[in-house]
Structure 1
Amino acid sequence: MPYVLRPARLSDAPAITELLNQVDLIEIGRPETDLHAVEAELQHPEADLSQDSWLAFHEDRLVAYALLWDESNGERIDTDHYVLPDHQEAGQRLFEAMEARALARARANGAERAVVHLHLNSEPTLDTSLIQKRGWSVVRRYHVLRRPVDPAEDRTPRTPPGVQLRACADEADRKRVHALHQATFAEHFDFQPRAYEQWLHDVHADRLDWSLVWIVSTEDQGDVGFLLARDDREAMGWIRTIGVLPEARALGLGGLLLRHAFAAFAARGRDTVGLGVDTGNTTGAPGLYARHGMTVHYAVDTWETVLTSPQ
């Protein structure tokens, strides 16, 4: 089957969004990709679209898309890949280009190999047997969770004595949230340290409603945790990140932040709130979310390959 391949441009964002929503519909039963999220990814500061993105067309129809970026400045390279089920050949052509570019970028960083990660739905449109033959395997599983919210039941929780919860109000608070994020996630699987300006891009700061970002503190320890949520997804309110420093865990602060976010979204008229969690998380987060009524919407696997020579 003939395919035409070329790099993506920012102007391709609507077509890519349409493709990703076709994939969403097949994988999770409804479209959940927003245009602004695709635009932000295409403007990733560690991706050069002319070399790190690929579109595959069949008779002028976009049937596959891939993007690559490098946050590690070392051997770790991240990728995205989407393909319609009946166009696996196009998907494999993108893998060939993506793997070659990943190894080139890692070697440009001074690394001898590229350790490449890709997130895929646990039941993807991609025929994963094809990438297993290429040396890819699953190394981690994540769950996307969701929970219904109701303003009559999800009310702002009472803050315990000695605990303060405040909205992120200014630049100093933003920098504090960044510092807390780096500290609370430092030991997590696949964590990549991010400077403040890089992190601002990661959280799409230009579109973020900072009143949905909260910091929790205690009298004894000061600022010890945060929750960063966003209300620009059409499908549901979204909790992007929640973290509490190790020394302040088991105080109920994660649950307090979570209930506060539920109440805020319910007050805004949202009926569903979602978040993603690493099923291998050892901080107790999966149990915390389950106790607060969150259930699995769908699962996502992290696939990995290690490249030492052109594929």
Structure 2
Amino acid sequence: MSDASLPEGLRMRPATLADVEQVVRLANSNEIEYLGEPDTSADFLRHNWSLSTHKPEENVRVIVTKEDEIIASVDTRHKRHVKIDMELDVHSAYRGQVELPLMRWVEERAQDHIALAPADAQVLLGTWAHQKDTQRQQLWTSVGFELTRYFWNMKRELTQAPEQPQWAPGICLRTFKELQEEAPQGDERLARALFAAHEEAFSDHWGNIPGIYEEWHEHHLGKEADLSLFFLVMDGDQVAAYARCADEGQQGGWVHTLGVRRAWRRKGLALALLHHTFGEFYRRGTRTIRLGVDAQSLTGATRLYERAGMHVERRFANFEKVLRPGRDMRTLSLNQA
């Protein structure tokens, strides 16, 4: 793309791993403005940009000054080419000046995905905005996006040891690390069983698109994952439920994903799993626990988290734009299950 549409002295270029620190500083400056604290770590972004499925040179663009200072960035990733999500950050001094050139690049990049998507499939572009960022929300609606959903970050502060988990008869909890060490030759079988459990549990999640095992494995079970915080609820040799957690340092503990397979729902497993997770973080000295959730969860997850003592800390608006009409491949209701 030509830089002619950018203010004088600015240019757009592909991002590289060497840009991680600058992009994180940019993201954190916006997070401090709207959230009151930084929320993105260099380790997190470096991990995402190091995935084989997400090359920053292809999927990320930055806008820089003559001194190569990054003042804006846009990061794109896709789900089976039918949903392209983007993350946009702009330095406050340049807002209203560089967003449209970045959006044009995103829509040009999306053409590559449209060409690879199933011929009859709808192709969507998705993004979000902090609830307090009305300027960004107005931008999205002005370029053809529609507000589709709200998502929450929920939080619990542990001022004392949390509740003890109450497990149903015959249920036991293990970590992926324990099971991996017991059957090192069975790593692949264990990982595939966990992936199948994840796919089943999240098939009831609004907006879900079936995943690809190899991509899931690299992202969730890669060398940087703390497998001692990957909890599996076992019923015999079956994975009934699971929680993938991480200690994010100053940001506290995160429950990144929690799922219960259909046959094991309404048995108290999710609440017990949360209580176990809280207890493990408390034992490690972590007192702040967070997770993200669809505010209109099809399975009532928000009520579960409230029962577990969590409250809404942050709200985000989700926006989508149809790039090509067609068959919607996502989960939109429980009737599709």
* TM-score, normalised by the number of residues in structure 1: 0.90
1:193 corresponds to which residue? 210
Rounded to whole Å, the distance in 2 between the matches of 1:176 and 1:104 is 33
SS at match of 2:165: coil
SS at match of 2:210: coil
Rounded to whole Å, the distance in 2 between the matches of 1:47 and 1:126 is 29
Sort the Cα spacing of 1:242 and 1:308 in 2 relative to 1 into closer, same or farther, 3 A.
closer
Sort the Cα spacing of 1:133 and 1:163 in 2 relative to 1 into closer, same or farther, 3 A.
same
Deviation at 1:36, TM superposition (A): 1.1
Matched, 1:205 2:244: no
1:148 to 153, 157, 161: 157
2:87 corresponds to which residue? 80
Deviation at 1:292, TM superposition (A): 1.1
Rounded to whole Å, the distance in 2 between the matches of 1:189 and 1:162 is 31
1:109 corresponds to which residue? 117
2:278 corresponds to which residue? 262
Sort the Cα spacing of 1:153 and 1:121 in 2 relative to 1 into closer, same or farther, 3 A.
same
2:13 to 6, 11, 14: 6
Matched, 1:176 2:180: no
Sort the Cα spacing of 1:144 and 1:213 in 2 relative to 1 into closer, same or farther, 3 A.
same
Sort the Cα spacing of 1:106 and 1:39 in 2 relative to 1 into closer, same or farther, 3 A.
same
Equivalent pair of 1:163/1:216 in contact (CA under 8 Å): yes
Deviation at 1:51, TM superposition (A): 3.2
Rounded to whole Å, the distance in 2 between the matches of 1:237 and 1:30 is 16
Q: What is the one-letter code of the residue matched to 1:289?
A: Y
Q: Select between 21-30 and 63-72 the one with higher mean Cα deviation.
A: 63-72
Deviation at 1:23, TM superposition (A): 1.1
1:27 corresponds to which residue? 34
Deviation at 1:229, TM superposition (A): 0.6
1:65-121 C-alpha deviation (Å, 9 max, x unpaired): 111122213x32222211223322112211111112113321243547631111332
Q: Select between 243-252 and 106-115 the one with higher mean Cα deviation.
A: 106-115
1:245 to 236, 261, 281: 261
2:138 corresponds to which residue? 129
Equivalent pair of 1:70/1:76 in contact (CA under 8 Å): yes
Q: What is the one-letter code of the residue matched to 2:155?
A: R
* TM-score, normalised by the number of residues in structure 2: 0.84
Equivalent pair of 2:153/2:291 in contact (CA under 8 Å): yes
Identity of paired residues, percent? Answer: 24
* Structure 2 portions without partners, runs of 5+: 1-6, 181-186, 326-337
Q: What is the one-letter code of the residue matched to 1:234?
A: Q
Rounded to whole Å, the distance in 2 between the matches of 1:111 and 1:298 is 38
SS at match of 2:92: coil
1:97 corresponds to which residue? 105
Equivalent pair of 1:140/1:301 in contact (CA under 8 Å): yes
* Structure 1 portions without partners, runs of 5+: none
2:64 corresponds to which residue? 57
